[in-house]
Structure 1
Amino acid sequence: MNQLNFVLAILLCINCFGQTKTTFEPKFKESKKTTHKIKKGQQYTFGYLEVLENRQNPKGGTIKIPVYIFKSRSDNPKPDPVLYTVGGPGYTSMRASQYMAYYRYLDDRDLILFEQRGTQYAKPSLDCPECSEAISLYNHPDFDETKTDSLFQKAARDCKERLEKDGNDLSSYTTNDIAADINDLMSVLEIEEYNLLTMSYSTKIGQVLIRDYPDKIRSIVMDSPLPLEVSFDEESVNNLLETVNKLLADCETDTDCNTAFPNIKSRFIKYLEDKTNNPLEVKVENPENGKLETFYLKGADLINVFSSARTGDVPNIPFEINKILNNDLSSVKQQLQSVFQKPGGGIGTGMRLSVWCAEEYPFNSQEVITTETTKYPSVEGLSPATYDKEVCEIWGVKKVADIENMAIKSDIPVLLISGEYDELTPVKWAESMTKNLSNSFHLIFKGWKHGPTTNWGNPCAMQAANDFFNNPLAEPKPNCMEEIESPAFKTE
């Protein structure tokens, strides 16, 4: 071999073997140490999916994502498992691992529980205790509100600097990255077809999956869907007020409720307006030192009687509002006790900031945000922004492509599930999605709030989801749906 051919051979060899050395292949490794103790009798596999943190950098670092694969209770399970990941962004999916006995999906097929990158049990977990501490300080009655902006901006800056010092690429924690992680998992596990169970924020993950990685998806349930094209922040205050008005209007059309609480809608809105201008003084004992602390509550604070309620609380909401109108502040004081609890660890907050500041904030109109903050006299000052403009600018992650703010179209079977009184992801959002999802069904659960499939007091929505997985081409009609009526409002 002459010298020139020898050099060419070396170069070709480097090109060949270099590809092998620099291409990372995702892998799943089983682990005996789990995130939670699993009840006896439940068969499962636990392990970590290892993927690149930044797929655009094949030589970069990797992250590990915990995954449970729970075996079906059936002796002859169907071949297409359900993959479940929860909402947030920033919440952990792993807590559900303790309650598999209640999940009906396991009656028919395996259930894969998937943690989103950056959340509590992922490695790394993008926690921000600095932000949790800031919220605790802000909620304290002695806090100087003129320092609000600087408090949260400092917390975001401190957390970012710490996480980046540890080597984390904060721009690599987006919905697209999570969708790619799930697609990688299906490939690594050699699963040919699967179903998706998503809720709230994770319905965005589902939408990206059926847009970018549709081949293996058999069907998808979207519980409390958040459409990609919606600007959540721009609408959040209006959605809250619309839902409160609907519930109280329903009370007024109910003979017993209206007799007990006449004109409750107009009285409550007027009360909130009054307290916005003349804050309600509430004294609460600080359990740490026995000192009476004074809170001054405006309409934006007092509407919490609705926004903090869950589905099981819905029948009591008019009753609780009437207590406030009659200056019975016992429930308000009970809620305020949470202010004195020690702050949490800001679990998953960094991941939430990365998602929100890359995907929601860039598409918000700051003019609309400003207008919405002062538009409604009953809750004036309640900002619709999840994170202020300055906080997202400090976080400094890359804006996602414009396609991430556009509606998807698909013929994959989809079941949309809504709670009638869900102010976070209202019924109208799911209704709008049906136009672009040609094989979709939409179920509305009367009297329910956010996340119907996790209503442990009534598993009807979970049953509907499971029926859909068993027959995704037919609208599920479980008998339990006929038994769900408008709430029987508590009147005494």
Structure 2
Amino acid sequence: MAERSFHIGAPVAGAALALLAALGATPAGAAPPHTDTTDISGPGTAAASRFVPGPCPRTPEPIEALATARCGVLEVPENRARPGGRTIRLAVAVIPPVSAKPAQDPVVFMSGGPGGETFDDIPFLVSSGLNRDRELIVMAQRGNLYDKPNLACPELDRFYARSVGLPSYAPQTERPMLDAVKQCRDRLTADGTDLSAYNSTENAADFADLRTALRIKQWNVYGHSYGSNLALTYLRLHPQGIRAVALDSAAPAPYVSLPFAWGSAREGLDNLYKACASDPRCKSRYPDLERTLNEQVRKLEAQPLTLNVRPPRGGDPVKVVLDGGALVELLVAKAIPFKDVPAAIDELGRGRPERFARARAAGSEQVAGQTAHGLTQSVVCSEWLPDHSPSDVLKAGREAFPEWPESVQAQAPQLAFQDQMCRIWNVPDRTATQRVATESAVPTLFINGTFDMKTGPSWARKAARTLSHSTTVEVPGIGHWVVPQSPCAQKVLASFLTRPTAPDTGCVAGLRWEPFTITPK
């Protein structure tokens, strides 16, 4: 769920003025508070949650919206069940609205992952209009890049960069991956980190404390992917002060588990097949799309291709292994634009693997230390994996794609070797408290893409059954994290934030997917 997407300054009025007072912010147009000397050097002794104004994070690439943002850290207990424990610090930015007469209720963003780098999402949020009519509040979930502590695992990132040259699901791939996981866990726990405290219950309590610390009477919540899971947990446990909830690429807690990853992959791929079949040009040029992909998954899993490929950003060619597992992972991750997928599959069947190989090579370019893998593993291992055995994953893989080889069916897409990783990570089972449906009358909007192979639209329809004032929208031809990719979805979200009980969804009816690439025979 790491797709980007897996894994977007005027005066402030009304209730937002209380925010500025709480933040100790300068008036609009004045210099941002980058000269604040607040010490955020590391965790301390646990105390009541509080907001401490401070400088905005210094991101590797400048983020324009942070130049006028009010920033600081939220200090919260690492583990609320252990009074007297240490305090952790979460990076916060309040981005001013564009409108001179903004609404009084801000919108707070919950990012995906779990463990995705939150501040990196700010440009997507701003370009999608999230701060057009109200303040946008962004807080890095516990363990994120600009938090104290930071639960990055560069050991694992370095493995992932090398893994493009390894078979996807082979023992020679599993061993170094598990070694990297153990190295990261040992390092984090040696620093005193309580890995059991990095979960959705604590995450939700952090956001509840943020609203109180910023003296906000009422706000709106927008979460995508894991952030939608967190938003529903937050709504269930801390409903006070929530005006409306928007869920993009919904991953509701009762349904998120390793076996269910196969259902979403099947749903998204089926919708893509149907879209091609309904397009005369695509159907004529690629009449056997599903059969071709099935053949290639089987063929390449039995006899992988090894190629030297130049990564998209340039540099020396890297070794790439293309096998059946790699094809599945690349499709689910949307490593190839949807409009090009039929052409890529057809070319592969004709002995031209270049599109898939280049997409695989891109994995060698990822930057170490950006993702909070510590949060990822703690959430997955305590909330997603328990109560489901490897045989459950295999059974789901067989049901979803019966023609694929067992070695592929046995690994949940984008969660390979997770059972073994969780044995090393060793955090308590939290499924009894987390896999609970949220029941609420708070207005809720679900926005999903029909081609999403990570969180299928059917999850949203199921979750909506217990939310009495919910609206469900499916945007054709879009994958994971819909709003930054769809102007129509942006209009729907803006309408929902203005009128949560009666959003205007009219633009969806006339939508179609982007025309598929048609290559010559």
Q: For 1:217-366, what aligned pairs fall within 5 Å after superposition? A: 217-277=242-302, 279-284=303-308, 293=319, 295=321, 297-304=322-329, 306-309=331-334, 313-338=337-362, 340-341=364-365, 344-345=368-369, 347-366=371-390
Distance in 1 (CA, whole Å) between partners of 2:94 and 2:467 is 29
**CA, structure 1 residues 289+420, in 2 after alignment: closer, same or farther (shift >3 Å)?**
closer
| Equivalent residue for 2:432, pick from 402, 424, 428 | 402
- Checking the alignment, whether the CA contact within 8 Å between 2:94 and 2:138 is kept in structure 1 is yes
Deviations 1:180-204 (A, max 9, x none): 0000011111111110000000111
Cα deviation, 1:415-467, whole Å, max 9, x if unaligned, reads: 00010111111011001112111100000001111111121xx3221221111
Which residue is equivalent to 2:33? none
From 155, 163, 169, the counterpart of 2:180? 155
Cα deviation, residue 238, structure 1: 3.7
> How big is the alpha-carbon RMSD for the aligned residues of Structure 1 and Structure 2?
2.7
SS at match of 1:197: strand
Q: CA deviation at 1:304?
A: 4.5
Residues of 2 paired with 1:294 and 1:97: CA distance?
A: 33
| Structure 2 residues without counterparts, runs of 5 or longer | 1-44
Q: Alignment identity in percent?
A: 24
After superposition, the C-alpha distances for 1:60-84 in whole angstroms (9 at most, x for unaligned) are 1111101111122222221111001
Match of 1:484 among 499, 502, 511: 511
- Deviation, 1:143, is 10
Partner of 2:228: 203
Give structure 1 stretches of 5+ with no counterpart.
1-21
* Aligned equivalent of 2:121, options 96, 116, 121: 96
Cα offsets for 1:80-107 (capped at 9, x unmatched): 1100121000002112334665242322
Counterpart residue identity of residue 485, structure 1: R
Q: Which amino acid aligns with 1:265?
A: E
The answer as to whether partners of 2:204 and 2:230 remain within 8 angstroms in 1 is yes
1:377 matched residue in structure 2? 403
Contact 1:68 1:97 (C-alpha < 8 Å) held by counterparts: no
Cα distance, 1:225 vs. partner? 0.5
Secondary structure, counterpart of 2:212 in structure 1: helix
Alignment CA distance shift 1:92-1:40 (3 Å): closer
Contact (CA 8 Å) 2:382, 2:427: kept in 1 or not?
yes
Residue 492 of structure 2 corresponds to residue 468 of structure 1: no
Count the aligned residue pairs.
465
Normalising by structure 2, report the TM-score.
Answer: 0.82
- Are the counterparts in 2 of residues 90 and 348 from structure 1 also a CA contact under 8 Å? yes
**Given the alignment, which residue of 74, 83, 94 partners 1:69?**
94
Name the structure 1 match of 2:18: none
Counterparts of 1:189 and 1:25, CA distance in 2: 14
Query: Looking at CA atoms only, which structure, 1 or 2, has the larger radius of gyration?
Result: 1
The offset of 1:401, in angstroms, is 5.2
Partner SS, residue 58 of structure 1: coil
More divergent stretch after superposition (121-130 vs 94-103): 94-103
Q: Any idea what SS the aligned residue of 1:402 has?
A: helix
State the alpha-carbon separation in 2 of the partners of residues 464 and 450 from structure 1.
17
Say which is worse superposed, 143-152 or 215-224, in terms of deviation. 143-152
Shift of 1:142: 8.7
TM-score by length of 1: 0.87
Name the residue aligned to 2:48: 25
1:34 aligns with 2:57: yes
8 Å contact from structure 1 (residues 252, 264) kept in 2 = no
- Separation of aligned partners in 2, 1:431 and 1:407: 13
Q: Judge conservation of contact 1:374–1:381 (CA < 8 Å) in 2.
A: no
